[in-house]
Amino acid sequence: MTALTTPTHDATADTARHPSVDDSHAARVMAAFPGGSNGEFDLTPDLATAVAKGSGCRLWDMQGREMLDFSMGWGSALAGHAHPEIVAATAARLSLGTNFATVTDASLSLAETIIRLQPRRESKIRFCASGTEATMHCLRLARAFTGKRLALKFEGAYHGSNDEGVTSLFPSGKTPFPNPEPSSDGVHFADTIVAPFNDPDAAAHAIKSHARDLACVIVEPLHRCLAPAPGFLESLRAACDAAGVLLVFDEVVTGFRMAFGGAQERWGVPADLVAYGKALGGGMPIGAFVGRADVMDLAREARAGKTTYVWTASTLGGNPVSAAASLAALSIYARAGAYARLESLGEHFRERLRRVLRDTGHVGQVIGTGPLGQIIFSNLPVVDYRSTLAGDRAKARVMMLGLFRAGIFLNPMGTKLYLSLAHDEAAIEEFGRRLARVLGDLRDGVAHP
Ligand SMILES: Cc1ncc(COP(=O)(O)O)c(C=O)c1O
């Protein structure tokens, strides 16, 4: 047995290895976290930072540096950071006990609210603590219900850190469909097949030809930042129905953001199972999977030992503090004008980005729907993952890092920029001015990689 040893790591040693680090917070971050980050991307030592607080669409790091936030907790803080109503609801709940690992009055109300939004009223729900768990449970339920093993995903889609989520997430784009490509080591990818987004014929062909083994199609209705072509989601619904395959909507991003009823409401296509997360929690940890009662009922203990039984459990899933925060967030989203505001802010934002591209002479386009936007440095039509590869991704990364250095907080690997109800035209203008400087420098070749 290996004896436990006292850690001897000295953060100052890292500072020495990264001579550009001039503050101890950044050095501590670089020493403690792989790549100076809690996941997804690496930060360079000069960018590594620890956020201390946020309010509205701004945040402050441990040194008190203010940043304008266009990540918004990867989209979870749709009402804005530290929204007073969410803070009050959360605080009031804390003193009543934080977790009982069972249904509470708060999670019951939340469950009923979410079920009422489902086009299929005989839906049932369970809570978990993240979007990753929610999609994982949907996939497992679909496989059990159909007795089939394959899941079809769309190339480039993210469904969380689970196996399907990181299969063909950022593949080479050269593997012939429907073959998967792992985007991480340690991933079981043999039970996933892949199709191009927005190609109804290719999807229908893949679904039909794999019908015998295909349990479900899982789709982000807004594929990363790409809108579904008219009729695409409907065509998936029809192809799934014809092949005895379940349709799973990963609404972790679209839920409560594209409309109160998410993508199902916005695009009018019902799914068999739906995964939620992010905006549902208003910044607190939550996930939910909801869908057809006959599928969800496979998760009853009474079925244990039967061939169609699905284990689902989550210690913190639907805890009363998260549920209370979620109920407060939902009451903010449900207010008259909230979605019209998110739409108009999104339009305004994308238009501002387009203006910067024009003014700085960069070839590119701006995609996005609702309160989301993304710049792609290509003027070729972008409809799916492979067409995004035509964009200059190295330049996009330099732009994102340049924005970060210019005081815009974002996910530098990321693609999407998130707005919230706390953003306004002034924040967008500030973003636009900083982007213009960054892209101006880039054109003049003075940006630092
Ligand atoms: C579409 C989609 N599904 C699932 C997830 C995973 O959610 P979480 O990070 O809460 O596990 C994400 C996270 O970015 C996502 O964008």
DSSP secondary structure, 84-110, as one string: HHHHHHHHHHHTT-S--SS--HHHHHH
> Quick check: CB of 129 below 6 Å from ligand 1?
no
pLDDT over 70 for what percent of the chain? Answer: 93
Question: What's the rounded Cα separation, in Å, for the pair 115 and 107?
Answer: 12
Q: Does residue 7 carry a pLDDT above 60?
A: no
Q: Is 130 in the pocket of ligand 1 (CB under 6 A)?
A: yes
Amino acid at 185: D
Task: Report which ligand 1 atom has the smallest distance to the Cα of 132.
Answer: 11
HSE-up (13 A, CA, CB side) for residue 27:
16
The band of 3, judged by pLDDT with boundaries at 50, 70 and 90, is very low
- The protein residue with its alpha carbon nearest to ligand 1, atom 3, reads 159
For the whole model, what pTM was predicted? 0.94
- Verify cis geometry, omega within 30 degrees of 0, for the bond prior to 7: no
Active site residue 278: yes
Instruction: Decide: 134 in ligand 1 pocket, CB within 6 A.
Output: no
Closest C-alpha to 284, from 241, 330, 324: 324
Instruction: Read off the amino acid at residue 49.
Output: T
Angle at 285 between CA 349 and CA 276, to 5 degrees: 65
CB of 75 shorter than 6 A to ligand 1: no
Residue 448 pLDDT? 47
Q: Which domains does the chain have, with CATH numbers?
A: 50-82+337-443 (3.90.1150.10), 84-333 (3.40.640.10)
Q: What is the pLDDT of residues 59-116, one digit of tens each?
A: 999 999 999 999 999 999 999 999 999 999 999 999 999 999 999 999 999 999 999 9
For tokens 């284990």, name the residue: 311
Give the number of residues written for the chain.
449
pLDDT digits (tens, 9 = 90+) for 174-228: 999 999 999 999 999 999 999 999 999 999 999 999 999 999 999 999 999 999 9
Ligand 1 near 131 CB (within 6 A): yes
Alpha helices, H only, 65-194: 72-75, 84-94, 105-117, 131-146
158 is catalytic: yes
What b/e readout covers 383-416, taking b as 16+ CB neighbours within 10 angstroms?
bbbbbbbebeeebbebbbbbbbebebbbbbebbb
Pocket test for ligand 1, best of 38, 78, 132 (most atoms within 8 A of CB): 132
Looking at per-residue pLDDT, the higher value among 416 and 57 belongs to 57
pLDDT class for 446, splitting at 50, 70, 90? Answer: low
Helix axes 232-243, 200-209, angle to 10 degrees: 10
The answer on pLDDT for 4 being more than 50 is no
pLDDT score recorded for residue 444: 67
Distance CA 200, CA 208 (A): 12
| pLDDT confidence band for 15 (50 / 70 / 90) | very low
Nearest atom (ligand 1) to Cα of 75 = 14
Token readout for 99 is 């977790």
Residue range 37-51, pLDDT digits in tens: 998 888 888 889 999
CA distance 351 to 234: 29
DSSP per residue over 331-400, as a string? HHHTSTTHHHHHHHHHHHHHHHHHHHHHHHT---EEE-SSSEEEEES--S---SHHHHTTS-HHHHHHHH
Mutate to test the pocket of ligand 1, among 38, 76, 139, 158 (most ligand atoms within 8 A of CB): 158
8 Å CB contact between 416 and 368: yes
